[in-house]
Amino acid sequence: MPVAEKRVRVPHLLEMKAKGEPICMLTAYNYTFTRLIDDLVDIILVGDSLGNVELGYETTLPVTMEDMIHHTRAVSRARRHALLVADMPFLSFQGETAAAVENAGRLLKEGGADAVKLEGGEPVLEAVRRMSKIGIPVMGHLGLTPQSVHKFGGFKVQGRGEEAAVKLKTDALALEEAGAFALVLESIPAELAKEITASLTIPTIGIGAGVHCDGQVLVIYDMLGMFDDYVPKFVKRYGAIGEQIRQAVSAYSSEVRARQFPDDAHSYGASVPAALAKTKPEEVGH
């Protein structure tokens, strides 16, 4: 059933946290999937994970601003209800603050996003603060931040150990102070996520961070069961859509090759005019 008909705004998410209402967030990368899920979730994220699942890259690092704007624009054409958040890709916000603000503005102005999401703690605080002050809503992202995959040595759980846990909580509080309206916590121990969530007035959105976050997010293709080659521990599959697609395409191919499709029910019926039936091939065009 649809969650609501009205458009979700940033203040609605803050109200949901205050009331203890879980926030539902999923990724989408195109018009078609957005039409299917828009009224069922609170937030749609156009993640830079599109580099993996749409463009075939091994990491998110090659994703460009042009890629993000292109996909965000497509999603925005179908979105009617959910808050639309767009990821800021690698090197679009880590340099000069002015350039980061300009790139964030492009995702809103050209892409149609309502807000942007960026990864990191202390190094991005100035950019978050500036964006928030001029009216660009910012969602933070801590824990396993995929743009730092080489620094982490792979996709590994973060925040284990006292020093790492303290750093994550400190960064979370700093992002809230800088003006972030929400925070994604990825691949961190559930108890740490619970502690951080309790310490913030802004909502946390977990992915591999336990049930005590204020909301949850997954990559839509993961939760639909589109692929079998790699399934993260934190992903629950709610379907087997990939296999269903393969079965449907296999059936179609078999019927085409056997000349069983199209049958009469899927063809237009009309008798051939007598004059056309008598026309010889060499007379065509004369």
Task: Tell me which residues are annotated as active site.
Answer: 186
Backbone phi, then psi, for 85, in 5-degree steps? -115, 135
DSSP states of 49-89:
THHHHTS--SSSTT--HHHHHHHHHHHHHH-SSSEEEEEPP
Nearest by Cα to 75 from 87, 64, 61:
87
Backbone phi, then psi, for 162, in 5-degree steps? -60, -45
C-alpha span between 157 and 137 (Å, rounded): 28
C-alpha span between 215 and 205 (Å, rounded): 4
Residue type, 125: L
